Amino acid sequence: MEFLQDYSLILIRLVAICLMLAAGTIARKLDFLDDHSTKRLSFLVTYIIYPVAIFTSLVQKYTLTTLLAQWPIPLGAFLIIVVGFVVGKAVSRLTRGESDRLSRTFQLQCTLNNYVFLPLPLVLIYWPETGMGWMALSSLGSEIGVWTFGIAAIAGFKCDASSLKKLASPTLFAILLALIIIALKQLFSARYQLTPWSANAIDSLLAVGTIFGNGTVPLAMIIAGSKIGTLTTSHLRHRLHAPLILIRLILVPALVCAIIRLIPMPTEIRQLITIVAVMPCSVASVAFSELYDGDSDFAAASILTTTIVSAFTIPIWLALFGPAA
């Protein structure tokens, strides 16, 4: 019975993703969006809306004490991305003969997965009291991974000054600034007390940032859906989809599950990291591919293929290593 409940949640979330992607696809078919507007929308999300969302989320949800006490959660989420990046580099020969744009996008899809939208409802079912806070901590580790190893993957990172400039993104700056503010807030809160006016002003600004940042997920879905609207059957039959499915949905989760067993952490945290690790390719990969001159068609097609196959692989992983094991 519990297995059926988990599976129904997965299917409902997958259907929700497909519906949001469909909005972008319909907009493309109706000529509301084209290649140029989709790319400009990618810039808007990545350079303005996304950084605001991350900054306000971190400042509102975290304290220095929480970060230090529950360090395995962001570490585990960061580890998922590092493992994906390393595996992608290890199998880079698979992309031999392909364009540089597609090779970098393949590396990106090995590196990033859907680390919030899909796992969140499952986490809340298993841990209704603490799940939201845990996912917030998990997203911190994931975001750091996205804006370091993720950007290194799609930008074709090399150890030179040009590559380092590519990592200097608004979102990475927002993360660092938020962490500094979190630390300063805790260090000085005992000595200095904000006036009611100052506290209300800060809360109001953060609330505006939250509302503004809430557009990140739906806009990312529309961007991906817009690219899906241009796909043909040849895009979906590309030879790299099969190995990517094996890497993203089987090999990377298996390695992550093996590694986290070697790290001392509570069983529930290990199960949480497992849930995040088994998710399909990230919808945001299309926006990154647009911004860093990747193959956004391959990114969109791989989102579609891995999301469909994950309907079968996620329940198996949860039955073996998740809370239902």
pLDDT interval class at 171 (50, 70, 90): confident
Token representation of residue 5: 């409940």
Residue 258 clears pLDDT 60, i.e. is over it: yes
Which position has the higher pLDDT, 32 or 160?
32
Across the range 37-50, mean pLDDT stands at 86
Q: Computed from CA positions of residues 54, 60, 64, 69, in that sequence, does the dihedral angle turn out positive or negative?
A: negative
Per-residue pLDDT of 95-142, as tens digits, reads 999 999 999 999 999 999 988 877 877 787 788 877 877 888 888 899
Token representation of residue 294: 């990747």
Task: State the residue for tokens 């945290």.
Answer: 269
- CA–CA dist 2, 105 (Å, integer): 37
Residue 289 clears pLDDT 70, i.e. is over it: yes
pLDDT interval class at 61 (50, 70, 90): confident
CATH number of the structural domain 2-321: 1.20.1530.20
Q: What residues contact residue 84 under an 8 Å CB cut-off, 6+ apart? A: 110, 111, 112, 113, 149, 247, 248, 252
Which position has the higher pLDDT, 288 or 324?
288
- CA–CA dist 32, 25 (Å, integer): 10
Structural domain spans, the chain: 2-321
pLDDT > 70 fraction of the chain, expressed in percent and rounded: 93
- Mean pLDDT across the chain, nearest whole number? 86
**Taking a C-beta distance cutoff of 8 angstroms, is the pair 99, 164 a contact?**
no
Q: SS3 letters for 25-54?
A: HHHHHCCCCCHHHHHHHHHHHHHHHHHHHH
